[in-house]
Structure 1
Amino acid sequence: MTRTPASARTTPRRVRWLVFGGLTAVIAMITAGVLAFQTSKSSTRSSLSRPSLPPAPSPSLSRPSSAPPSASPPETPGSEQRGAAGKADGVVPDGVTVFDDSIPAVAKLDPELLKALRRAAKAAAADGVAFHVNSGWRSPEYQKQLLREAVSEYGSEREAARWVATASTSPHVSGEAVDIGGSEATAWLSGHGAEYGLCQIYRNEPWHYELSTDAIDDRACPRMYADPTQDPRMQQ
């Protein structure tokens, strides 16, 4: 009987241990990789499901541009308590017509002008056109406010005068002028206003109308001024 050398007997055992150790290392590496992948996937899923917050708005350093001088500034709750112009000064809310007696800007217009406006508005309604009032009577304080805003917007009193009169000369303060809103309404008045004595006075203000009784007889309005600076009444 031949004996197997001791070295030969230990070699297979050593190989088995090496194989076992190698497999263990491989399994450990695979396990670590799976755990890392699951952790990464979980983190990604968490970041996708959580909405990002919008950046905080930075305060604006510029003033919002002011409305055209002919338009009424928006009225905010409590504005009258803070001393700003309100309805009582002639500020006109949206949607006001020439028939709204509860609005001072309409109710305080010259009675003859208001009568002519309502007659014209009824005739225009038959043609599917509505008259909305953007501005009518104004208090002297409101007129002064509009003039200050115009000077700030246009950069000088001279340029502002092309759009806004002083409180002492403005026909709005005396209730003798109205600003009609809507291109359809002003187009209708351009064609039919003279029949009711309603005339556009300034070429640069197609919304501004005053009463001219001579226009009713002549069936034509007097020649328009280029702007208020050309109107002799504004030179007082």
Structure 2
Amino acid sequence: MLLKRGVWRNRFLLGLPVAVLPAIVATAIASPSATAAPVDQQVATGSSIGTEGLEPGLALAYTMAQNQAEAEGVDLSITSGYRTPEQQEELWLDGLRTYGSPDVARRWVLPPAESTHVSGKAIDVGPRGGAQWLEVNGNQWGLCRMYENEWWHFELATLPGTACPPLRADASER
């Protein structure tokens, strides 16, 4: 049933990283209760708000997690996803003004060439309760909080159902 629907296959299958696809499909088949609706129906209805510009695997994982959060009554949304290099440059310059030095600014914001937001590989989520829910449950879809100092920043960092990597102190530890 999962691959029977051409919509799912055509919209997402070809854009997913090869290493992530089998795990997402296996997780969806093995644990259909992990999502609010059957996966083929859930993905066919479209992506969550804020997933534009994200890598397809991250967009799919977040959409599935957000649907489950909603089914459990948890408010979860993307507050910042893909950023253009120009948007990231503005944030970087603001960080330099705010923190006074590149070394300190890098704890909170990275230049465009280093930001996972610019490459579509990161999301910031909110509100805080939703981020806490995602930190506890996100690994079901491969989503992990990355930095101790940023409760809101998540990336597709593990295979679905496996443990997340240890938190880094901040973004300067890339």
> For 1:92-115, what per-residue CA distance to the aligned partner results, in whole angstroms no more than 9, with x for missing partners?
xxxxxx722xxxx53111111010
Q: Distance in 2 between matches of 1:169 and 1:230?
A: 11
Q: What does residue 70 of structure 2 align with?
A: 125
1:158 aligned counterpart, secondary structure: helix
| One-letter amino acid matched to 1:229 | S
Counterpart of 2:117 in structure 1 is 172
User: Among residues 128, 132, 153, which one is paired with 1:208 in the alignment?
Assistant: 153
**Number of equivalences:** 128
| Counterpart amino acid of residue 185 in structure 1 | G
Question: How far 1:217 sits from its partner (Å)?
Answer: 4.3
- 1:197 pairs with one of 142, 150, 154: 142
Q: Whose Rg is larger?
A: 1
Do the aligned partners of 2:141 and 2:161 also contact (CA within 8 Å) in 1?
A: no
The alignment's TM-score, normalised by the length of structure 1, stands at 0.52
TM-score, L = length of structure 2: 0.70
Highest relative contact order (Cα 8 Å, sep 6+), 1 or 2?
2
* Contact map agreement 2:48 2:62 (CA 8 A) in 1: no
Aligned twin of 2:10: none
1:158 is matched by which residue type in structure 2? D
Query: Which of 103, 108, 115 in structure 2 is aligned with 1:158?
Result: 103
CA shift at 1:213, angstroms? Answer: 3.4
Unaligned runs of 5+ in 1: 1-97, 232-236
Q: Does 1:142 align with 2:142?
A: no
The one of 130, 148, 151 aligned to 1:185: 130
Letter in 2 for 1:143: Q
Moved over 4 A (4+): none
TM-superposition CA deviations, 1:161-218 (whole Å, max 9, x none): 101111111000000000001011111011101111000111111100000233x242
Written as runs of structure 1 = structure 2, the 5 A alignment for 1:1-236 is 99-100=48-49, 106-214=51-159, 216-218=160-162, 220-231=163-174
**Counterpart position of 2:42:** none
What secondary structure is seen at the aligned counterpart in 2 of 1:207? strand
Per the alignment, in what secondary structure is the counterpart of residue 210 of structure 1? Answer: strand
Alignment root-mean-square deviation, CA: 1.3
Percent same amino acid at aligned positions? 39
